[in-house]
Structure 1
Amino acid sequence: MFDHFDAAWKELTAEGSGFAVSEIDVRGVPTRIFPSAPPHMRAIWDIAQLHGDKTYIVFEDERYTYAEIGAQVRSLANHLRDVHGVGSGDRVAIAMRNYPEWVVSYWAIACLGAAAVGMNAWWTGPEMAYGLGDSKPKVLIADDERVERVLPELDALRAEAPLHIMSVRSDRELPDDSSRWADVVKPDEAPATLPDADIDPDDDVTIFYTSGTTGFPKGAQLTHRGSVHNIMNIVFMTMVAGAAEAKAVEAGELPAPEPAPADADPAAPPVFLAPTPLFHVTANNCLLQPCTMAGGAIVFMYKWDAGRAIELIEREKVTNFSGVPTMSREMLMHEDWSLRDTSSLKSMGGGGAAIQPDLVDKIDKSLKGGVPSTGYGLTETHGIVTANSAKLYTAKPASCGRIVPTLEGRLEDEAGNVLEPGPNVVGELCVRGAIVIKGYLNRPDATADSIRDGWFHTGDIARIDEDGFVFIVDRAKDMVIRGGENVYCTEVEAAIYEHPAVAEAAVFGKPDDRLGEEVVAAVVTRPGESLDQDELSAFLAERLAKFKIPSTVWFRDEPLPRNANGKFVKRDLKDELLGTA
């Protein structure tokens, strides 16, 4: 099977093909690219407009075609330019649930040559204020819940830089100089064209905040080039896996697939269900953007519910489901899974956390005409670094797949020495290529620390096998992945230490069957002080998003274990409190 995979890879990347790879200099770094790639995301949107009356967005019971969303994009883009002066190099923030307005806002901003600041919808008011103060957008487009959180912070933010509020799906009273979506976006009156824009491939198109080890989130600068190449990498990895299986079938190594139903349309566009938030690369870059280019439909939910997701799969004939692993597991375990028609699913899986091998097998056996899939990636790589699917995945269920064509990959030891891959060789996975971010906004030190000579240090410990398949074995970063959300322990510890009764705190992850990991903590209080979990949780709720607050806190009288350098030894703490020794 892997010989067929290699052969298909060589054919698809051969000189003259659509996925041929070449190397250019980007910001002084040798960079792998697809020469055939469109120059920027506006070109992707232009392609999408050819899909006209096809269904584009389904949000619960609302439906919109490409033409309808296109009119909204033109209306908003012209308003942002004419009224607020938004253009190349500017920023506009988006803070809302996965409403259709998120998608309209994103494409309008991208087509102006500005950068969309995707704000974490879980953030509290102070966390929103930090992101807005750091990115300084001209406009914040936000739904009712996010408007409520930001209004108390507005005067302080405006003391530093002007900020216009545009509310979405909200009847809340607003400051006089604010606006409402319905008063601004008028598709029936939309200009026939988008405003002119001068866009360079290396311009920022998105700022996504990723939690930082210093206690503050970092704004990752995603570029037009990186976003376009991520789309093409996703398409390539899908095609190469399919081509490899076709070769295996032709060689008699795999049975021929079941024939499609007589009424099936082989040219029917894909239908994606996107259960994860659009302020992450998973939903925005790896689902919305490829779906848009392919002329597919994308289905959004008000909030995650496994039963509702199964219902939508049946109703909308969803072909691709991609979420965090716990979502797939919850659907397969749901009582409605066997009662609903999910035969339209061709791919099920996702990323955000490792998919356990048993789940790979469950997905493979549960889909009538589909296959399991996974991807490994980071905000800092615009999306996927690797992908694995179908028979390749069931053959190597512990692997996240091979590295995409526009990335070089290598392993480094703690001293920065490059390691030769081998069956027992592990090191930090480092990657270089078109999809590595430009850097972190306003954080040159953090950029220099993470990206050295163009090589992005993922913080993940991996091994690479003889077929070039990557296996993530550990994380170097002090981080918990809770239901696909990255929680950096130092950020939570910093908030805990703000409580006057706390003397010492250590935050780490506890395995959880549903979420992958839960955030937990050990706390030592100051002499004479008392504190319980409810009090600490209430204190943290004013400082942290809910998913970052420890679900369990152990309060101790004795100091936390330390090493010779005085650092807390979390491994010993885990062994003691979780019995993981």
Structure 2
Amino acid sequence: MHYAELKQAREELTGPGGVFEITEIEVRGHPIRTYRHAPPSVREVWLSTVQFADRPYLVYGDETISYADAHAQVNAVAAWLADQGIVAGDRVAIAMRNYPEWMLIYWACTSCGIAVVGMNAWWTPDEMAYALNDAQPKALFTDQERLERLRQCEGVAADLKLVGVRLSGPAPGVTAWDDVVAAGGAMPDVVVDPDADACIFYTSGTTGHPKGAQLTHRGCVGNLFNLMYAAASSALAVERATGVAPPETPPIPAVLITTPLFHVTANNCGAYATTAAGGKLVLMYRWDPGEALKLIERERVTSMSGVPVMARELINHPDFASTDTSSLLALSGGGAQVPPDLVLKIEDKVATARPSTGYGMTETCGIITSIAGDFFVDRPDSAGPAMPNFEARCVDDDGNTVGVGEVGELWVRGACVIKGYINRPEATAESITDGWLHTGDVARMDEDGFIYIVDRKKDMILRGGENVYCAEVEAAVYRHPAVAECCAFGVADERLGEEVGVAVVLKPGETLTEAELREHCGVIMARHKVPRYIWFMDEALPRNASGKFLRRELRDRLSPATVPA
């Protein structure tokens, strides 16, 4: 394999005078690695795309929005925000499906130094109310379904400005999107601080409430450069090793976005890289592998990124063989580890596409590592090497770095690490030490710097790319009056990676069915957090000496086959 060439390519690209030259600066009192030639803010990234005016940008159903149209609408939204007195340092929330307007609002806000609050479209009214009260946005852009949920929220600021997107009709107190766009206007001339918040993306919290991660402009731009660097270093290494040069004029990217834009996988990775290259974003109403195949053929999609199960469902679909997928150059997975068998299946079944993945998290504005093509096929159990604007190390429980090949919690430090969690100084201090982010993932690193994710240190279930924390599930279950004790854990699932399971002990004399408990949880939590597997136990749950549930013991002892009929 081409590991010597890869090392040489990495050093050449990131060294003095390199396109991706790395320098060290001080941010928030800590030394961090960053790209010398990166633009200072997201504003410059968006404004640079005006050169692609005639190209198609956003495709949704039978709608196509060009870059010229997109810039006109982004400018109109930015002007409307200024007219409302919403300025740099303020926040604006987005709660909707993956409609084209999501991206237009995002670019308008970030280009003005206004932080986007990405609201999970699956949240219940209570969860929506929590985030709105936590983030305190000045305005909310919302679609019909989320607007109806908002009407059920209690305690939300009465002066919150509302803009309705794709509503079924006029709504009292809501400004129509068409009216905002029709007013036109110019992009305000502002200078955006690189270390200001670009967006607030919520990640599930271990205490039952999600935490609002502060992704900075420096971090978001750094992630874009990581994506470009990953492709460039891999291509250069392969060219040096094989003598085969990539095409002088690579195809303009057309990327199928399959995961929610309120996550870094779709937004910071898929949308950023495609937009910066003047490519086309193809959006879906909801994930459907048959529809995805039709879009790949119709729109000549070059890359599809989503949680690994989506690539599996795509290549296993009965229409796969009869669909023209010859435009596909990459099938990538994020949000969950790609099973090694899937890496090899992509390589074998898709003639033109190579497998790829990026391991990362909300707290790093996107990817920490990346691996693709020949390297991924050679090491299908690896997440790849860390990107050059990260320092990475595996540590023991005392924070001491472990040796090569030894297992420890992965810590990273660099430009893409979040500023912290809004209104949560204790959670910030617990997660970040001297600039080092504790990822919560247990990993090992080999002699080439390739990282292998072994397990998760946190009590977290990763269901189809969505983080579900055990404490949050347990908090909801405990709210049922019949429950004495419960313990949640992940149950292996071929399709989603993991499903939510919970072992429950009822109070003496109480009765409860699986259906009743799921209905109870569904009122409190988003649907994807509701337990699929429920075991009603006849004895107390196992605990250790300090009284904590032995979660792993329960997970190992119970299986879907033991769920009572």
For the aligned pair, the TM-score class normalised by the smaller chain equals: over 0.9
Q: Displacement of 1:267 after TM fit?
A: 4.4
- Aligned partner of 2:184 in structure 1 is 190
Q: CA deviation at 1:557?
A: 2.3
Could you say which residue in structure 2 is the equivalent of 1:55?
56
SS of the aligned residue for 1:167 comes to: strand
Is 1:429 the counterpart of 2:410 in the alignment?
yes
Q: Distance in 2 between matches of 1:171 and 1:323?
A: 30
Superposition deviation, residue 184 in structure 1: 1.6
Whether 1:302 and 2:285 are equivalent positions in the alignment is: yes
Residues in 2 aligned to 1:173 and 1:296: alpha-carbon distance in whole angstroms: 34
Task: For residues 101-154 of structure 1, give each alpha carbon's deviation from its aligned partner in whole angstroms, at most 9, with x where no partner exists.
Answer: 101110111111110000000100100000001000011101011001011215
Correspondence for 1:123: 123
Distance apart, 1:14 and its partner CA: 2.1
What is residue 194 of structure 2 aligned with on the other side? 201
In 2, Cα distance between the equivalents of 1:445 and 1:62? 46
The 1-side partners of 2:251 and 2:337 are apart by 31
- The range that moved more, 166-175 or 390-399, is 166-175
Q: Which moved more, 1:305-314 or 1:367-376?
A: 367-376
Alpha-carbon separation, structure 2, partners of 1:190 and 1:81: 12
* Amino acid of the structure 2 residue aligned with 1:183: D
Deviations for 1:370-393, whole angstroms, at most 9, x for unmatched residues?
210011000000000000000011
- Which amino acid in 1 is paired with 2:400? N
Task: State the Cα distance separating 1:173 from its structure 2 match.
Answer: 5.6
Contact persistence 1:86–1:112 (CA under 8 A): no
1:526-565 → structure 2 map (5 Å cutoff): 526-565=507-546
Matched-pair contact (CA < 8 Å) for 2:133–2:157: no
1:220–1:511 CA distance, 2 compared to 1 (3 A): same
Partner deviation per Cα, 1:522-567 (whole Å, 9 max, x = no partner)? 1111111111111111111111000000011111121101111111
Deviation at 1:166, TM superposition (A): 1.1
Q: Deviations over 1:493-544 (max 9, x none)?
A: 1111111111101111111111111101111111111111111111111110
Quick one: which amino acid aligns to residue 457 of structure 1? H
1:124–1:173 distance in 2 versus 1, CA, 3 Å: farther
Q: Where does structure 1 differ by over 4 angstroms across 4 or more consecutive aligned residues?
A: none
Residue type at the aligned position of 2:449 = G
Other-structure match for 1:67: 68
SS at match of 2:24: strand
CA distance in 2, matches of 1:266, 1:533: 57
Which residue of structure 2 lines up, in the alignment, with residue 574 of structure 1? 555
The answer to whether the Cα contact below 8 Å between 1:507 and 1:520 also exists between their aligned partners in 2 is yes
C-alpha separation in 2, matches of 1:542 and 1:182: 34
- Percent identity of paired positions between Structure 1 and Structure 2: 51
Q: Secondary structure at the match of 2:290?
A: helix
Distance 2:348 2:249 in 1: 24
Q: Distance in 1 between matches of 2:495 and 2:61?
A: 24
Structure-2 separation of matches of 1:403 and 1:172: 49
Distance 2:320 2:79 in 1: 45
Q: Which residue does 1:85 correspond to in 2?
A: 85
The equivalent residue for 2:37 is: 36
1:196-245 residue CA offsets vs partner (Å, 9 max, x unmatched):
22310000010000000111000000000000010001000011111111
| 2:429 aligned residue | 448
1:168 is aligned to: 165
Task: Tell me the distance in 2 between the aligned counterparts of 1:233 and 1:349.
Answer: 16
Q: Give me the whole-angstrom Cα distance separating, in 1, the residues matched to 2:400 and 2:226.
A: 28
Instruction: Name the counterpart of 2:500.
Output: 519
- Is the 8 Å Cα contact of residues 170 and 176 (structure 2) preserved in structure 1? no
Q: Report deviation, 1:165.
A: 1.5
Residue 578 of structure 1 and its aligned partner are, at CA, apart by 2.0
**2:181 aligned partner, one-letter code:** V
1:181 paired to 2:177: yes
Among 232, 235, 243, which residue is 1:239 paired with? 232
What secondary structure is seen at the aligned counterpart in 1 of 2:151? Answer: helix
Query: Matched residues in 1 for 2:466 and 2:438: separation?
Result: 20
Q: Please report how far the alpha carbon of residue 579 of structure 1 lies from its aligned counterpart in structure 2 after TM superposition.
A: 8.8
In structure 2, the partner of 1:20 is: 21
Contact 2:370 2:387 in 1 (8 A): yes
Match of 1:249 in 2: 242
Equivalence for 1:110: 110
Give the residue type in structure 2 aligned to 1:14: G
Check the 8 A contact 2:533/2:560 in 1, yes or no.
Answer: no
Matched residue SS, 2:259:
coil
Q: What residue identity is the alignment partner of 1:500?
A: P
Question: How far 1:419 sits from its partner (Å)?
Answer: 1.6
Question: Which piece of structure 1 moves more, 489-498 or 10-19?
Answer: 10-19
Aligned equivalents of 1:172, 1:536: Cα separation in 2: 37
Structure 2: distance between partners of 1:522 and 1:173: 47
Aligned mates of 2:265, 2:250 — CA distance in 1: 25
Is 1:484 the counterpart of 2:477 in the alignment? Answer: no
Match of 2:148 in 1: 148
- Counterpart of 2:150, as a letter, is V
Counterpart residue type for residue 74 of structure 1: N
**Aligned 8 A contact 2:474 2:488 in 1:** yes
Distance 1:87 1:67, change over 3 A: same
Deviations 1:409-468 (A, max 9, x none): 011111222223x23x00000000000000000000000000000000000000000110
Cα distance in 1 for partners of 2:187, 2:560 equals 60
Name the TM-score, length of structure 2 as normaliser.
0.97
In structure 1, stretches of 5+ residues that fail to align are: 251-255
**Cα RMSD (Å) of the superposition?**
1.5
**One-letter amino acid of the structure 2 residue matched with residue 37 of structure 1:** A
3-state SS of paired residue (1:134): helix
Query: SS of the counterpart of 1:273?
Result: strand
- What is residue 132 of structure 2 aligned with on the other side? 132
Shift in Å, 1:298: 0.7
Alignment partner, residue 253 of structure 1: none
SS of 2:558's equivalent in the other structure is helix
Q: How does 1:321-336 map to 2 (within 5 A)?
A: 321-336=304-319
Letter in 2 for 1:472: I
Aligned partner of 1:419 among 393, 402, 410: 402
Within 2, Cα distance between the matches of 1:572 and 1:410?
29
CA distance in 1, matches of 2:216, 2:517: 40
SS of alignment partner, residue 491 of structure 2? strand
Question: Does residue 504 of the first structure (1) align with residue 485 of the second (2)?
Answer: yes
Provide the secondary structure at the position in 2 that maps to 1:419: coil
Give the secondary structure class of the aligned counterpart of 1:25: strand
Per the alignment, residue 256 of structure 2 pairs with 273
Q: Secondary structure, in 3 states, of the residue corresponding to 1:185? A: helix
2:539 aligned counterpart, secondary structure: coil
Unaligned runs of 5+ in 2: none
Matching residue within 209, 223, 242 for 1:216: 209
Contact 1:75 1:185 in 2 (8 A): yes
* Deviation at residue 48 of structure 1 after TM alignment: 1.0
Q: How many residues align structurally? A: 561
Select which of 395, 402, 406 maps to 2:389.
Answer: 406
Q: What is the distance in 2 between the residues matched to 1:516 and 1:575?
A: 16
CA–CA distance in 2 between the matches of 1:21 and 1:183? 45
1:38 is paired with a residue whose SS is coil
